[in-house]
Amino acid sequence: MIQMMITPLILGLGTQELLLIAFIFLLLFGAKKIPELMKGLGKGVKSFKEGMDGKVDDDHDAAKRIEAVEKDPKESGTAS
């Protein structure tokens, strides 16, 4: 009972299933190729996070511009 609580469950997969998937992954790609794949995956995740941070920064800058226009629309050059 305690062993079941300790075993990590990822998407409903137990330890045996995860080991089987890792073994098949090793057979398909080989021991030399896996570090390269993980490095590429890490770079992709890092790039995604940087992109999300940039999007947040862009949204913040856009909010500042909108506030400036609302305060004084004549300075923005888009006065109607």
Identity of residue 48? F
Closest residue by Cα to residue 34 from 17, 42, 15: 42
More confident residue, 71 or 16: 16
More confident residue, 3 or 18: 18
More confident residue, 33 or 71: 33
Identity of residue 41? L
Is the pTM here over 0.75, yes or no?
no
Alpha-carbon span 65 to 39, nearest angstrom: 39
Q: What is the pLDDT of residues 12-46, one digit of tens each?
A: 778 888 889 989 988 988 888 888 988 998 999 98
Q: What is the pLDDT of residues 46-70, one digit of tens each?
A: 888 888 777 666 666 777 777 777 7
